[in-house]
């Protein structure tokens, strides 16, 4: 919506501000209604998206900026909204490739609705659908998506948006095929056209030929079959055919994802990336905010482990806490993660206090990211013990035996792993970083993406020696990088001795399914043969063949990305 520049005279500022606050109030009520409706239909996880919209709308910084535009710059309410939201939009859009860039669509949605309230326009009425259709649109807001009637809407496609957008997240809950952000397509399609929406590969095929149609019919049948199998896995434990228990835990970025983990029957939370708590606000969360979230997770997981990783900020996860004037040339090799935590001890302590306090409410464990030297580990551990002393002095309850672990994601750490293992209770291999630091490939640089490969023999050797060292030391080891979610590697990792996988919630059932289809002896043979190969390509090919042997019905293109 284009909003022309318009100004008010100085005397009308009070009236204009009041007009804007009334519009905000009524929009806030409208969003609350959406939230309650979505909570009834889809559950609290999806309702949280709308609650976040409401909080964004009522954010004190946002209100302050809007008020300044009206009182100090004499902008009309509409022009103030267009200007301030425009600034936020620009900021989020330039975070290309970052999960938060997707939030630009939420901001645009709120801006549009607020302008509508200011202009006194009625909400666009949803079209009544009463026969099976595909919805193709330039954009769908999360609320429009949530209101799609799944009895008739077979799938939908939007031209803009991305896989991490809230529209895509809501589509996942509705369990209908969707491609969000397909690019320009509306000018090539006409009502009544036959269209295939391939949500798995993010493809939209307009007017397919007979052969493609037949291929997709078969694909659809296979997909429904696979879903039925996966649903069955939800309530099963992962036990190999020769009786070895494999633990499949969840990786989460947002607290609400714990519900998805529970639905999938996760054995715990193996990685909670707490930096997202910091990234969702522009002021540091206080100890109480941390504590409420950690306690909730511990209580919801009811005795199952919850590994809380201390903040891993810097590099690709925004330079929070950093002075913006100190541009880093090489942020992945710079002041990130535990290095940043040890530079900002008061901030780090606040988080540690909350984690230690939450340990009274479940099986909470603390884990440090990117540990490279023993000194870093010792300093971080000292802070935990210091925090414990403090809390004990004040009579606060916590678990004295709180397990302390670290991530293994730097080759130097693997070289020294025996020493580290003497000083921690558990370790978790972070392959996302381990791969980039081993192969000297920036994980976020598209130009070198083909070099970033978990199958690389050098990476596999580092993983193997870490697992072996952990077994020698009698300490639990898990793998929480994306690699563990890729079922191509499940047999290999079991064969290398891994018994704890930590994967995003959507991958839990698939990994469990592979675990239940193999024997440890078979996996050990796969590992032995894979480790004798000398290139990533030959290892990849070999693993594909082995997986196909145990699960011939698996679509490798779909599962092994
Ligand atoms: C990893 O590096 O594998 C990991 C799990 O941490 P992150 O992806 O958050 O850096
Ligand atoms: Mg990492």
Q: Using one digit for the tens of pLDDT, what is the confidence trace for 87-120?
A: 888 877 776 555 566 677 788 888 888 998 998 8
Q: Which of 69, 261, 480, 523 is catalytic?
A: 480
Measured CA to CA, the distance from residue 133 to residue 144 in angstroms comes to: 16
Q: How many CA atoms lie less than 13 Å away from 362 in the CB half-sphere? A: 24
Compute the average pLDDT of residues 460-467.
98
Question: Comparing C-alpha atoms, which of 232, 163, 245, 251 is closest to residue 483?
Answer: 251
Identify the burial level of 196 via C-beta atoms within 10 angstroms of its C-beta, where 0-12 means exposed, 13-18 middle and 19 or more buried.
Answer: buried
With a 6 A CB cut-off, is 275 part of the ligand 1 pocket? no
Q: Which residue has the higher pLDDT, 444 or 85?
A: 85
Q: How far apart are CA 445 and CA 435, in angstroms?
A: 13
Q: Is 376 in the pocket of ligand 1 (CB under 6 A)?
A: no
* Proportion of the chain above pLDDT 70, given as a percent: 91
pLDDT-based confidence at residue 201 (cuts at 50, 70, 90):
confident
Whether 312 lines ligand 1, by a CB cut-off of 6 Å, is yes
Q: What is the pLDDT of residue 245?
A: 98
pTM of the model: 0.70
Could you tell me the pLDDT band of residue 281, with boundaries at 50, 70 and 90? low
Of the listed ranges 45-59, 193-207, 358-372, 478-492, the least confidently predicted one is 45-59
Q: Which ligand is nearest to the CA of 459?
A: 1
CA 309 to CA 132: how far, in whole Å? Answer: 46
Ligand 1 site-directed mutation target among 98, 408, 430, most atoms within 8 Å of CB: 430
pLDDT for res 402: 98
Beta-strand pair 426-429/269-273: unpaired
Cβ-based neighbours of 491, under 8 Å, separated by 6 or more: 514, 518, 522, 523, 526, 527, 543, 546, 547, 550
What pLDDT, on the 0 to 100 scale, is given for residue 48? 78
CA angle 132, 133, 136 (to 5 degrees): 165
* Of 166, 256, 260, 500, catalytic: 166
List the alpha helices (DSSP H) in 8-76: 13-42, 44-57, 60-71
516 is catalytic: no
Q: Which residue has the higher pLDDT, 172 or 160?
A: 160
Instruction: Note if 480 is an active site residue.
Output: yes
Tell me which of 102 and 157 has the higher pLDDT. 157
- 150 neighbors 133 (Cβ within 8 angstroms): no
For residue 316, give the ligand 1 atom closest to its CA: 10
Contacts 24+ apart (CB under 8 A), 21-29: 23/77, 23/114, 23/117, 23/118, 24/57, 24/58, 24/63, 24/114, 24/117, 26/117, 27/57, 27/110, 27/113, 27/114, 27/117, 28/54, 28/57, 28/58
Mean pLDDT (the chain) is 89
Ligand 1, pocket-test mutation among 315, 338, 372, 407, most atoms within 8 A of CB: 407
Q: What percent of the chain has pLDDT over 90?
A: 58
Q: Is 413 in the pocket of ligand 1 (CB under 6 A)?
A: no
pLDDT of residue 190: 87
């Amino acid at each position: 919506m284009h909003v022309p520049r318009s100004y008010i005279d100085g005397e009308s500022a009070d009236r204009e501000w009041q007009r804007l606050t009334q519009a905000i109030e009524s929009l806030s009520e409208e969003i609350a209604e959406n939230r309650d409706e979505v909570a009834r239909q889809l559950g609290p996880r999806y309702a949280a998206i709308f609650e976040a919209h409401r909080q964004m709308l009522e954010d004190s910084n946002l209100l302050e900026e809007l008020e300044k535009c009206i009182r100090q710059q004499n902008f009309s309410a509409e022009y103030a909204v267009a200007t301030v939201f425009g600034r936020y939009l620009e900021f989020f859009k330039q975070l290309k490739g970052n999960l938060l860039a997707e939030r630009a669509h939420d901001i645009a949605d709120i801006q549009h609705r607020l302008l509508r309230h200011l202009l006194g326009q009625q909400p666009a009425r949803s079209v009544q659908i009463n026969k099976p259709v595909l919805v193709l649109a330039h954009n769908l807001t999360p609320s429009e998506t949530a209101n799609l009637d799944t009895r008739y809407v077979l799938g939908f496609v939007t031209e803009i948006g991305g896989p991490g957008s809230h529209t895509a997240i809501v589509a996942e809950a509705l369990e209908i095929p969707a491609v969000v952000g397909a690019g320009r397509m509306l000018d090539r399609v006409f009502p009544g056209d036959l269209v295939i929406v391939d949500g798995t590969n993010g493809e939209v095929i307009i007017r397919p030929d007979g052969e493609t149609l037949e291929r997709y019919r078969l694909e659809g049948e296979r997909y429904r079959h696979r879903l039925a199998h996966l649903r069955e896995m939800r309530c099963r434990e992962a036990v190999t055919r020769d009786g070895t228990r494999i633990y499949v835990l969840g990786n989460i970025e947002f607290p609400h994802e714990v519900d998805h983990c529970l639905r999938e029957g996760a054995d715990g939370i193996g990685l909670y990336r707490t930096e997202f708590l910091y990234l969702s606000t522009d002021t540091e969360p206080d100890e109480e905010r941390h504590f409420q979230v950690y306690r909730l997770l511990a209580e919801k997981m009811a005795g199952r482990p919850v590994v809380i990783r201390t903040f891993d900020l810097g590099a690709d996860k925004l330079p929070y806490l950093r002075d913006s004037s100190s541009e880093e040339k090489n942020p992945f090799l710079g002041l990130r993660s535990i290095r940043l935590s040890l530079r900002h001890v008061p901030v780090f302590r606040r988080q540690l206090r909350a984690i230690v306090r939450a340990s009274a409410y479940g099986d909470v464990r603390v884990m440090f990211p990117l540990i490279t030297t023993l000194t870093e580990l010792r300093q971080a551990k000292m802070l935990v013990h210091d925090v414990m002393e403090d809390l004990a002095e004040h009579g606060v309850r916590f678990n004295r035996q709180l397990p302390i672990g670290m991530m293994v994601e730097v080759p130097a750490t693997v070289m020294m792993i025996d020493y580290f293992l003497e000083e921690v209770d558990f370790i978790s291999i972070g392959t996302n970083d381990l791969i980039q630091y081993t192969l000297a490939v920036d994980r976020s640089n598209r130009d070198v993406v083909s070099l970033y490969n978990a199958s690389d023999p050098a990476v596999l050797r580092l993983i193997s020696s870490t697992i072996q060292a952990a077994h020698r030391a009698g300490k639990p080891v898990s793998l929480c990088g994306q690699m563990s979610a890729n079922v191509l590697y499940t047999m290999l990792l079991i064969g290398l001795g891994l018994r704890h996988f930590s994967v995003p919630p959507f991958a839990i059932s698939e990994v469990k399914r592979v675990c239940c289809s193999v024997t440890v002896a078979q996996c050990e043979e796969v590992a032995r043969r894979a480790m004798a190969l000398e290139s990533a390509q030959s290892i990849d090919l070999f693993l594909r063949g082995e997986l196909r042997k145990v699960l011939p019905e698996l679509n490798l293109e779909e599962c092994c990305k």
